[in-house]
Amino acid sequence: MITAEDNEALVRVGKGTVMGDFMRQFWVPACLSSEITSDGDPMRLMLLGEKLIAFRDTEGRVGIMEHVCPHRMASLFFGRNEQGGIRCPYHGWKFDVNGNCLDQPNLPDKNKYPAGTKAWAYRTIEQGGMVFVYMGERQANPPPLPELAPIMADPDDRNIALTQRDCNWMQALEGDIDTSHLGFLHAGTIDGDRLDPTDPARFTVINKAPTINVSEMDFGTMYSAQRGAEVGFEHHRYACYLFPFWVTYPSDSIERNVSANAWVPIDDENTMIFNIDVQRSSGKGRKIMKYTDGTTVPGLARPVEYLPRTTDWQGRWRPVKNSSNDYGLDRELQRNGGVYSGIIGIPLQDQAIIESMGPIIDRTREHLASSDRMVMLTRKVMLKAARDYRETGKLPDFLDHPEYARKARGGDLVVPEGTDWLDGYVDAMTAAHGPYPRPEAAE
Amino acid sequence: MATPPGGFDVVLSRSGKTVAIPEGKSILEVLEAEGITIASSCLEGVCGTCETDVLEGVPDHRDNVLSKRERESNKTMMICCSGSLTPVLVLDL
């Protein structure tokens, strides 16, 4: 459990909240680059409880600004995206992507504001097939993007999956660093004896009670879930949390895995998941899990099927299978079909369980266990960082050291028994990518 | 649950307050009696919820959560069940 005060501080993200103000000092993934086209429809976008409008101008530049016109507060969603800016349909005032006022055509020349009237625009940048927005204090001099391998890669929409989850962002993120659920929710009825004995994922299936190693890092936190492997060896499954909402989750061997999730708050009770796995489109990554006899392990398949897109504040990337239809739960599949949850697909299994907790968990009532050490440490590190910012204005060094993110990867590794979990990680990464900076454990 | 290992002082670094932990009492229960709210759950050193940073002193670790390396670092402890090998522990509370 944590106190009610800590819970509130963790989950609320509106302007003026402890976590909301902290989060705004980092770049926030806003949407796919492909969701907005030059002179195309302006898109309603809600981030951290703020109602915004996103559009791409004639030259391809991206604008993200408060959705209302600064004149009489009409919504620019109804605006005309034309010739280098967005024009309010009410009186024709026009703004460029930086919020500069280009035209006030309803005013006689002598009454036009000399410098126009700025719309409330934020800084944006595009990278890796995504648009990022910076809603923080340093609008004139924003920090660099974190050098996370998945977002530094060449853009390919097939590698990026967005999904709305109807619950608080921290609840969703905690599901991503709760590693021991893997052996149950996703793999509870997989038969480990029928898997390829050399597949490291097998150990997560056959040993369901790992020891959890955790450490605070300069980018956030890191864990390994440690299990016995073949005689004389141990299996580690690594993942990292990076400020303010990134998780480099494990989906392949540590050498090959290049993946991350951003758990981006839409508001306090809704989250947009940005799931990036750069191996997905190339087919070089993890293959569909099969038994040694060639049959496919049931219940794991992607992708998520989406409802038709709407222009609503929350009309994008909503799964067809959702709480209204119990996520397609099939009791026969659960009893006898080899799918522990009875729900098809790892993302939907997570979606069902995390949403089932309600929009915001009452963390004063939970009973965390040693399996939850990563959750406990991450909350603590997050709260401390957010409160330090509130009290002293100081932000983590990571903000202006984007290279720290290069050290933060996830994945599976088998090492000789007794190997220190961080030494094993550094050695494997060095072997795969050349000299590798050691993550400095802050313990 | 083993007898809690009292008989030492705890200094709370943030307030500077010193609290005596008597024999038979855990750090956690004494601090809670003082009105200090600390996250905790199992009270038996198995869950890790009450993990607290140690700034000075050497804990007498009695939990089942910390790794060997974490114990030897003396930088963190579970205050629901662990005691002190030194007369004073300074905690980040």
Dihedral, CA atoms, B22, B25, B30, B31, nearest 10 degrees?
110
Query: Is the pLDDT at B2 greater than 50, yes or no?
Result: no
- Which of A1, A2, A376 is closest, CB to CB, to B48? A376
pLDDT of residue A328: 96
Domain membership of residue B28 as a residue range: 8-91
What is the count of structural domains for chain B?
A: 1
Pairwise CA distance, residues A66 & A121, whole Å: 6
The two beta strands, B88-91 and B8-12, are parallel
Nearest CA in chain A to B76: A443
Task: Classify residue B2: in a domain, yes or no.
Answer: no
Decide: B93 and B36 in contact? Cβ < 8 Å.
yes
Interface confidence, given as ipTM, is 0.80
Query: Is the pLDDT at B31 greater than 80, yes or no?
Result: yes
Query: Is the pLDDT at A130 greater than 90, yes or no?
Result: yes
Task: Classify residue A442: in a domain, yes or no.
Answer: no
Strand order in the sheet with B76-78: B17-21, B8-12, B88-91, B51-56, B76-78
Task: Classify residue B72: in a domain, yes or no.
Answer: yes
Query: Is the pLDDT at A4 greater than 50, yes or no?
Result: yes
Task: Classify residue B1: in a domain, yes or no.
Answer: no
Q: What's the pLDDT tens digit per position in A165-199?
A: 999 999 999 999 999 999 999 999 998 889 988 78
Q: What's the pLDDT tens digit per position in A233-255?
A: 999 999 999 999 999 999 888 98
Task: Classify residue B70: in a domain, yes or no.
Answer: yes
**Nearest to residue A30, comparing CAs of A19, A46, A12, A14?**
A46
User: Do A264 and A188 have their domain in common?
Assistant: yes
C-alpha separations of A286 from A124, A257, A355, A410 in Å: 33, 9, 27, 14
Average pLDDT of the residues in A343-358:
96
Establish if A372 touches chain B: CB-CB under 8 angstroms: yes
Decide: A339 and A327 in contact? Cβ < 8 Å.
no
Query: Is the pLDDT at A320 greater than 70, yes or no?
Result: yes
Q: What's the pLDDT tens digit per position in A72-95?
A: 999 999 999 999 999 999 999 999
Q: Which two tokens stand for residue B54?
A: 């140690």
Query: Is the pLDDT at B29 greater than 90, yes or no?
Result: yes
The reply to whether residue A372 touches residue B48, judged by beta carbons under 8 angstroms, is yes
Do you find a cis peptide bond into A303, omega within 30 degrees of 0?
yes
pLDDT of residue A301: 74
Task: Classify residue A3: in a domain, yes or no.
Answer: no
**Can you give the pTM of this predicted structure?**
0.93
User: Do A280 and A406 have their domain in common?
Assistant: yes
Q: What's the pLDDT tens digit per position in A260-299?
A: 999 999 999 999 999 999 988 877 666 678 888 888 888 8
Angle (CA) A179-A263-A134 rounded to 5° is 145
Q: What is the average pLDDT value for chain A, to the nearest integer?
A: 94
pLDDT of residue B1: 42
Percent of chain A with pLDDT over 70: 98
Domain membership of residue A122 as a residue range: 27-139
The reply to whether residue A1 touches residue B40, judged by beta carbons under 8 angstroms, is yes
Confidence of residue A443 (pLDDT cuts 50, 70, 90): very low
Confidence of residue A302 (pLDDT cuts 50, 70, 90): low
Average pLDDT of the residues in A222-232:
94
Query: Is the pLDDT at B4 greater than 70, yes or no?
Result: no
Task: Classify residue A305: in a domain, yes or no.
Answer: yes
- Which of B48, B70, B73 is closest, CB to CB, to A370? B48
pLDDT of residue A288: 72
SS3 A340: coil
How far B39 CA sits from the closest chain A CA (Å)?
5
How far A369 CA sits from the closest chain B CA (Å)?
4
Q: What is the CATH number of the domain that holds B81?
A: 3.10.20.30
What is the count of structural domains for chain A?
A: 2
- Which of B49, B64, B70 is closest, CB to CB, to A368? B49
pLDDT of residue A438: 73
User: Do A250 and A368 have their domain in common?
Assistant: yes
Beta-strand runs (E) in A166-313: 211-217, 220-228, 233-242, 246-248, 259-267, 270-277
Average pLDDT of the residues in A127-155:
96
User: Do A397 and A251 have their domain in common?
Assistant: yes
pLDDT of residue A285: 62
Establish if B37 touches chain A: CB-CB under 8 angstroms: yes
